[in-house]
Chain A
Amino acid sequence: MNWGSFANFIDMGGRGFYVWGSYLITLVCIVLELGLLARHKRTLWQRLTQIIKLNKQG
């Protein structure tokens, strides 16, 4: 598939907004999912290690 030029590639035959829009939204969804997962892990570990520490003290 020969695009000819980078400008053609971005333009996508006039449909650039739709094609790149779709890919961008998908990327955002994946980044969001991974981000939420990482945050979930962080808060969970904080909470659980906190509990262990308190149990040791008490």
Chain B
Amino acid sequence: MAHIHVPDGLPGILGPMAVSPESAEALRELVEVLLRGPNTLTSAEHELIATYVSSQNDCCFCQLSHGAAAAEHLDGNCELVDRVKSNYATAEISEKLKALLTIAGKVQKGGKHVTTEDVERARTLGATDKEIHDTVLIAAAFCMFNRYVDGLGTWQPTDSLTYREMGRTIA
């Protein structure tokens, strides 16, 4: 049961968003721009960063819903998404994305964990200032979303079909 009264049957973040529509509107706009706005990083890459950070934060709802969205963008490749969560260094993704995931992982621990070396490495592998900026902000934003969802004790379904549907909707 959630820590506050939320409408029945709304999973994860949807419950709190229903009780606070004004902040929900801004949150929706933010995630739309961050994950789907025009960018040199693909939507799949954005969703992988969001999924990775959410798994580091141990947020079930966020990692499964955004993991499903990432898989949707990757022609259903759930194994790749799982590999990114468990050991991205060995996943079949670009070296640039691995360097950005390292930065995202540092942001998840705290902003000051990001070092000049982390950023330089990403640049060496082709990351632009915008891509570095967006990685930091996506990681930071999911540290917010994960805390929102878990901090209110929201109901989080566990069946994969529900998340596959959510993934399609998000994608």
Do A and B associate with each other? no
